[in-house]
Structure formats: structure tokens, C-alpha cells
Amino acid sequence: MSSLIEAVALWTILMERKMYCHGVARHMAEMIVVDNKEGYSVIRLNRPEVMNALSFELVDAIAEALETLDTDGRCKAVIITGNERAFAAGADIKQMQTKSTVSFIKENNFSVWDGIQRFRKPLIAAIEGYALGGGFELAMLCDIIVASESAVLGQPEINLGIMPGAGGTQRLTRTAGKYVASYYILTGERMSARDAERFGLVSLIAPQGKALQEAERIAGMIASKSLPSLLAAKLSINSALETALSGGLAFERYLFYSLFSTHDQKEGMTSFAEKRKPVFTDD
């Protein structure tokens, strides 16, 4: 019931006001580059000297950029990508090796990942090269994953005497199943993009060097849709992972009914009847 109440509150805010663009600076922080495109944005991880290792500061920068883009009315989808060598080759081990159980608890470093999970718009990962450890966990936070045919994914934390700590044991198991997840998490073995696709972890395979291009094609398609329907659909999809079927169906139906109070629903159905492209205003 609490999730339904939260959804009602969120939906009320959305319906009562149009979201205005506040803009995002191209250089949000030195460790990321944010490019605003027509209808979507690209966040590029920018620590090439360490293969985009996820330091606490880098994850903070990603979360801060997403928080801004969440209320940017021009942005309907976001792509997270790295470079040709790595999406993100893992967590910043040098930064973490001196941490203790107490310091993790007191500083609550991983809470920022929860903020990324709450991002309401479609999130697309475009992977070239390595997506390992925290990099793989970041990709699995996304709604769509596009991987280059030469991409390499995995959770190698067991090789360091630890285990995944940013969702790897949970999201990998929910997506690929217990036995696949157990094999890769307990052995630390890496998986190819083709295997990841076979396990349901990758949405699409792109030719080497073309992952971002394919992700941008998808983001462009998403950007042509109505924002309220995008937000509602993502919310409903994510609820399927956390609710029983009966509750999920009820929640889906509520959101479906809610969209009939929008201008875009009227425009979408009228344009279909008139055999023309819809002109959505996100109202």
C-alpha cells in the first residue's frame, strides 16, 4: 500500500505541473561529461587513466547529474557510457582498501546508489570494453543495456576476498537466475556480451565501437514518446520486481487509468484515428 501511496503522490505532482528545463552543465564534474541532445542526455564517465573505476566521487557525480536531469523537461532518457576500453572496470580498489566495517556504516557510502535507482526516466547503458564489479552493477541499474560484441562483463569481487555490494547478488540473480548468478559470482569468471545477452542481461548487441550509436538510436525513439507514459511505464516495470503478481497488476491498472487524464493520451489516440504522427506536449 505504501508504494501505491508514494506513486499517487508522485503522479499528483507530475499532473499538477509541467516539468521545466533547468539545464545541465556540459562539465558537471571533471569525472563525468554530460551532453544534452535532442530529447535525451548522455553521461560519459571520464576517468580513462583508471578505466573509469568507480570512486565514491564519480558515483556521486553520476547521481547528481541524474537528479538534475530527472526534472529537466527536455530530457526523456539518459545514456550512461564510458570509452572504447571500458564502461567501468570496477570500483576504485585503492580508495576502498583502507575502509573498515565501521567506516562503511558510519559514512553510508553506498546510499547514493539508491538515488540512482530512483531516477524516474529510462536509463540506458552503452557498454564498450569492460563492465566489471561496480561497473556491471551500474549497468544493471539501467533499464536497457546495449553492449558491444566485444564487451566483457562480470562480478570478480570474490577474487579480492569480498563480494558484490552494490546490487550484484540481487540484480544478477533476479535476471539470470540462481545458478547462472552463483557460477559467475562465486568463481569471479567473466562473461561475454553474447552470453550476457543469452542470460537476459543485455538488451541488444552492437558491433564493436557502435554501442553508443545504438543506444542513441534507442534514446531517440524514446524521446519521441509522451513523458508521463514513459514515467508510468518504467514505474510499473520496476514494481514487477518487488510485488506479487496481483499487486503488480493492480498497480499497473491504476497507472493505466491515470494516463487517461493526460492531454497526450487524447492526442495519441486522436492522431492514430486520423492516421498522423502524434504531437506530444508531455501534459
What residues are labeled active site?
Answer: 91, 134, 137, 157
Task: Check residue 158 and report its DSSP letter.
Answer: G
User: What are the angstrom distances between the C-alpha of 29 and each of 32, 136, 181?
Assistant: 6, 22, 34
Q: What is the DSSP string of 102-138?
A: HHHHHHTTTHHHHHHHT--S-EEEEE-SEEETHHHHH
Q: Is the Cβ–Cβ distance between 7 and 255 less than 8 Å?
A: yes
d(CA 57, CA 139): 18
Q: Which three cell numbers stand for residue 97?
A: 582498501
Q: Tell me how far CA of residue 189 lies from CA of 81, 91, 104, 156, 159, in angstroms.
A: 23, 17, 27, 7, 9
